[in-house]
């Protein structure tokens, strides 16, 4: 992957949501979670690597007692289409009887998030909710998670997106806002 290619993708991308729109949406999302989990002592789990941006922005706006953890599970491995799910790290906390909120960058096919939710229930979590920055509503696989419990923003296009934690072949996660490229340029 050449840096010239990454720069070309970056420069030709279309802005879907500005940095301010992303921030405002995450503030709204945090307010909902604050209300719903005020008395539940939630365990907020970040899905690495993509969920890191959403996770840090979200928890900085939460004003309730909570604990944080992470896991690393992915189907992408630097590619633009999903492969077999690979678990690199499981949560460190015991999930038994905990109210768990899984935070990720995007809900597209939903296969990764469904596997994480299923895993959490096998660990006897009291409840499991999902929170995502972006929901690609028309991208769901039949075996994927049908919907996130908390969604900041959504799109119904098939565009490949990057920025605000989402990547294009492991690059451009740090780009402010959310940007789209045409599907044919992702090969």
What confidence tens digit (pLDDT) does each residue in 71-80 have? 999 876 555 5
Number of domains in the chain: 1
Give mean pLDDT, residues 44-65.
97
The tokens describing 174, both together, are 């740090």
Give mean pLDDT, residues 16-28.
98
Percentage of the chain surpassing pLDDT 70?
Answer: 93
Give the residue with greater pLDDT, 117 vs 187.
117
Nearest of 59, 89, 76 to residue 171 by alpha carbon: 76
Which of the four pLDDT bands, split at 50, 70 and 90, describes residue 167? very high
Q: Can you tell me the distance from the alpha carbon of 44 to that of 59, in angstroms, rounded to the nearest whole number? A: 8
What sign has the CA pseudo-torsion 81, 141, 68, 53?
positive
Q: Can you tell me the distance from the alpha carbon of 155 to that of 158, in angstroms, rounded to the nearest whole number? A: 8
Strand partners, 70: 46
Q: How do strand 67-74 and strand 86-89 relate by DSSP bridges?
A: antiparallel
Nearest of 85, 95, 40 to residue 62 by alpha carbon: 40
Give the residue with greater pLDDT, 182 vs 159.
159
Q: Can you tell me the distance from the alpha carbon of 37 to that of 65, in angstroms, rounded to the nearest whole number? A: 9
pTM, full prediction: 0.91
Give mean pLDDT, residues 146-168.
95
Mean residue pLDDT across the chain: 93
- Reply yes or no on whether 108 is catalytic: yes
Nearest of 142, 184, 176 to residue 57 by alpha carbon: 176
DSSP reduced 3-state for 96 = coil
Q: What is the pLDDT of residue 161?
A: 96
Q: Is the confidence at residue 185, as pLDDT, over 70?
A: no
**Any residues with CB less than 8 A from the CB of 36 and at least 6 apart, and which?**
none
Q: Can you tell me the distance from the alpha carbon of 40 to that of 45, in angstroms, rounded to the nearest whole number? A: 15
Catalytic residue among 108, 149, 156, 167: 108
Domain that holds residue 110: 3-186
Which of the four pLDDT bands, split at 50, 70 and 90, describes residue 186? very low
Q: What is the pLDDT of residue 139?
A: 83
Q: Can you tell me the distance from the alpha carbon of 107 to that of 114, in angstroms, rounded to the nearest whole number? A: 10
Q: Is the confidence at residue 128, as pLDDT, over 60?
A: yes
CATH of the domain at 19: 3.40.50.2020
Q: What is the pLDDT of residue 157?
A: 83
Q: Can you tell me the distance from the alpha carbon of 55 to that of 38, in angstroms, rounded to the nearest whole number? A: 18
What confidence tens digit (pLDDT) does each residue in 92-103 have? 999 999 999 999
| Number of Cα atoms under 13 Å in the Cβ half of residue 122 | 8
Give mean pLDDT, residues 28-42.
98
């Amino acid at each position: 992957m050449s840096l010239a290619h990454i720069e070309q993708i970056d420069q030709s991308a279309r802005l879907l949501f500005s940095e301010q729109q992303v921030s405002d949406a995450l503030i709204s999302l945090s307010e909902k979670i604050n209300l719903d989990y005020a008395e539940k002592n939630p365990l907020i789990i970040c899905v690495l690597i993509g969920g890191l941006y959403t996770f840090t922005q979200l928890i900085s706006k939460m004003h309730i007692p909570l604990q944080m953890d992470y896991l690393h599970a992915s189907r992408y491995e630097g590619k633009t289409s999903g492969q077999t799910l690979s678990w690199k790290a499981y949560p460190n906390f015991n999930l038994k009887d905990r109210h768990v909120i899984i935070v990720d960058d995007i809900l597209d096919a939903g296969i990764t998030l469904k596997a994480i939710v299923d895993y959490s229930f096998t660990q006897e979590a009291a409840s499991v909710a999902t929170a995502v920055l972006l929901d690609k509503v028309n991208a769901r696989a039949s075996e994927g998670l049908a919907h996130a419990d908390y969604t900041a923003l959504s799109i119904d296009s098939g565009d490949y997106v990057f920025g605000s934690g989402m990547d294009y072949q492991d690059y451009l996660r740090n780009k402010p806002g959310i940007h789209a490229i045409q599907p044919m340029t992702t090969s």
